Amino acid sequence: MGEKFHFQAKGMPLIKFQDADKIKSLQSGKIYAKTLGYYRKREEETGDCEVGDKYEAMLHINEATIYCPDTGEVVAVNDDLLKTSESNDFVFCMFGVNPKEGKFRFTDKQKEKMLSFGDTALIVLDPDKFIRRVKAAAEKAGYKVYFKPVQYYDPTIDNGNMLISLSYGMWDIAFWKRDSYTYQQEVRFVFTPGDDNIDHIELDIGDISDITAIISAKSALSAIVERMDSSEVESNLK
């Protein structure tokens, strides 16, 4: 029987899988966000297609004319990969547990592949507070910040929904990934504007040990995640 850990019903429970030293740094309040371009290069240069993705924040389009609301520019594309300045925004990624599910179990594929991100897991017990702290630190540093789940698409068919979403802001390109990455159940913080001259930013959100807990990645992946009342949240991970 899997180890159980519990989380608050409100918001989306979040998990960060990483090596132990980086998880400890994160719990101390250090948010380390790399550019989307870093993840493209990671697959291209190392062959790592789990953490890396050579199509990160890019879209293959057969033929279309796109209006960019941020700049007023009209771009015609034909059998090409669409990449904008927002394709180098900074991003911080986590695993998001579906809050609509009363119980959640990791699939066999997730148990296998998520270990490639690291041997340790940070469980965010109060996602709402965590999100507010990240947004406050980002805005203080002069960044606009967006947070939401990644949407996964089939690259072999029409990507009309993705194009429609870009009409609301080109930054949304960061929230789309090919469906081969669906197992990651990713949620993202995107910090804009990006900067081609640096590959990462660091934000300090203050110590978050009051709203998080650290366990091994294997323990997290073998767990049964259940909803509980907020008064019961902390007991199982301490």
Tokens of 4: 């159980």
Residues present in the chain in total? 238
pLDDT per residue as tens digits for the range 191-234: 988 676 788 899 999 999 999 989 999 998 988 776 555 444 44
pLDDT per residue as tens digits for the range 111-165: 999 998 999 999 998 888 999 999 999 999 999 999 999 988 887 775 666 666 6
Short-list 23, 44, 73, 38, CA closest to 174: 38
Task: Give the other-Cβ count within 10 Å of 70's Cβ.
Answer: 13
d(C-alpha 212, C-alpha 238), whole Å:
10
Task: Give the other-Cβ count within 10 Å of 12's Cβ.
Answer: 20
